[in-house]
């Protein structure tokens, strides 16, 4: 059965944290939300929770590090919708353990890049044909981090930080490549948010962390593309 909502959004890593909150806020705004998650049980639980609240939510099993999983997710999506208005690349990992780049484990770096950089590229590539069919112009939001900003980068979490710098570059590349298709591509620093990744000492609730992502998905001018945002303001790379 196809979705009854005119606007659709796919959020990766949407079973918890910022991704789950973005899904909730977009559902509140009338989107049919697709909960992309690797964890089958948690993904279904999130989808069912939103459905019980009266929203339209569909779970799609999606491991951004697995090309076959992404292609299968596209197939599942195609059974429910014929276009995609918003893609939020939220899934990502932070596995650094306090070491500096001097002792960075190359296998850790490879895992981080596979999830935080290659994953979003593959998801965009595979879902691009649906974004091109958005009647209002597709929007892609990559969830980055202030840790990836070169302007004040130091030694924090080298694998994670470098991967987010690379994700920013991915954003610029896609923004340029898709400008003529009227698809906006932006990245967001949500700030230090209280999630499993950010920890309980973080200064921001998930609602604040999701705010600019949701704004870019809905109210930001469509012509804003290829930029790095924090609290609805463009920031330095």
Domains identified in the chain and CATH numbers: 8-234 (3.40.50.720)
The verdict on pTM exceeding 0.75 is: yes
Angle at 35 between CA 61 and CA 122, to 5 degrees: 60
Tokens at residue 57, please? 């939510």
Beta strand 233-234 with 228-230 is antiparallel
Buried b (16+ CB within 10 A) or exposed e, 161-187: bbbbbbbbebbbebbeebeeeebbbbb
Q: Measured between alpha carbons, how far is 235 from 146 in angstroms, rounded to an integer?
A: 9
**What string of pLDDT tens digits covers the 237 residues of the chain?**
577 668 999 999 999 999 999 999 999 999 999 999 999 999 999 999 999 999 999 999 999 999 999 999 999 999 999 999 999 999 999 999 999 999 999 999 999 999 999 999 999 999 999 999 999 999 999 999 999 999 999 999 999 999 999 999 999 999 999 999 999 999 999 986 677 777 788 778 889 999 999 999 999 999 999 999 999 999 999
CA dihedral 32, 57, 66, 83 (to 10 degrees): -20
Alpha carbon separation from 52 to 20, 45, 48, 55, 225 (Å, rounded): 15, 10, 6, 7, 35
DSSP helix, strand, coil percent of the chain (3-state; round to 5) = 45, 15, 40
As a residue count, the chain comes to 237
Catalytic position from the list 55, 130, 156, 160: 160
Active site annotation includes 160: yes
């Amino acid at each position: 059965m196809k979705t009854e909502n005119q606007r659709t959004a796919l959020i990766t890593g949407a079973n918890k944290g910022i991704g789950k909150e973005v899904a909730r806020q977009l559902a509140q705004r009338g989107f049919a939300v697709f909960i992309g998650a690797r964890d089958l049980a948690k993904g279904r639980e999130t989808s069912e929770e939103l459905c019980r609240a009266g929203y339209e939510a569909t779970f799609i099993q999606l491991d951004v590090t697995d090309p076959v999983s992404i292609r299968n997710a596209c197939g599942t999506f195609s059974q429910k919708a014929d276009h995609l208005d918003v893609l939020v690349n939220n899934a990502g990992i932070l596995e650094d353990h306090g070491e500096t780049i001097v002792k960075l484990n190359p296998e850790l770096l490879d895992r981080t890049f596979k999830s935080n950089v290659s994953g979003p590229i593959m998801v965009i590539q595979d879902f691009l044909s649906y974004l091109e069919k958005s009647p209002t112009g597709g929007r892609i939001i990559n969830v980055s981090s202030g840790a990836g900003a070169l302007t004040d980068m130091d030694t924090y979490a080298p694998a994670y930080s470098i991967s987010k710098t690379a994700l920013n570059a991915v954003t610029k590349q896609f923004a340029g490549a898709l400008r003529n298709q009227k698809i906006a591509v932006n990245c967001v620093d949500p700030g230090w948010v209280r999630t499993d990744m950010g920890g309980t000492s973080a200064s921001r609730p998930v609602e604040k962390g999701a705010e600019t992502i949701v704004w870019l998905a809905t109210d930001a001018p469509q012509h804003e593309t290829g930029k790095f945002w924090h609290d609805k303001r463009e920031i330095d790379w």
